[in-house]
Amino acid sequence: MKDITFNEIKLVLRILKSPEEDYNANNLSKILGISPMGALKIAKRLVKEEILTSKQIGKGIFYSINFKNPYSRQYIQFLLKREGEYSTPYIKRWISEIKKIKNSGLAILFGSVLLKNETANDIDVLFVVSQKKFNQLKKEIEQINKMNDKKIHPIFQSTQDIKDNIKKQDKIILNAIKGIVIFGEEILLEVIKK
């Protein structure tokens, strides 16, 4: 496989993080700000490399993540791990803070901090946590909040909660999964796959 372009990264992550949407070359081109032919070329290449699958519905061809291919899953986990590297220094600071947390399986930074940086009122983070580790996670967040001027505003979900909320198309959860995955990439893939 040759090097992946920034548009290819955006395309793959957009399809992954928006399970409520169906994507074809036309709507992908608008998202990426390129021609429909350019989006189609990228999508076809990713299908050929078995990262995406395609399905014809009527006259349209729609693309989705190929969760059956182990390489595709590893590739997407790699993209998710690198996603935060393209952030501002302020967001990188919060990524570093949240990486200190040990009692959550998945953490996603989302909300106003991604748009407003320093002017955001708080730091929204989605945590997937087991009942057994819930109290320890709350204590970890309290410790981080004591040391920072902005406070983490957590949303707690179990693995089953997040699966159910994605199925129900809960707007808050669908918005949260579009954020930056700080850790737990494999959990996110498993949740979205279902």
- Residue range of the domain that includes 184: 87-193
Inter-residue contact 156 to 134 (CB < 8 Å)? yes
Of the candidates 150, 47, 135, which has an alpha carbon nearest to the alpha carbon of residue 98?
A: 150
**CATH code at position 43:** 1.10.10.10
Lookup: tokens for 178: 């579009």
Count of the separate structural domains present in the chain: 2
Q: List pLDDT tens digits, range 65-110.
A: 999 999 999 999 999 998 888 889 999 999 999 999 999 999 999 9
| 45, 70, 95 - which closes a domain | 70
- Buried (b) or exposed (e) across 129-155, using 16+ Cβ within 10 A? beeeeeeebeebbeebbeeeeeebbbb
Q: Is the pTM of this model over 0.85?
A: yes
Q: Is residue 43 part of a domain?
A: yes
9 CB-near residues (< 8 Å, 6+ apart): 79
Give yes or no: residues 60 and 127 share one domain. no
Give yes or no: residues 92 and 59 share one domain. no
Quote the pLDDT of residue 2.
59
Give yes or no: residues 92 and 65 share one domain. no
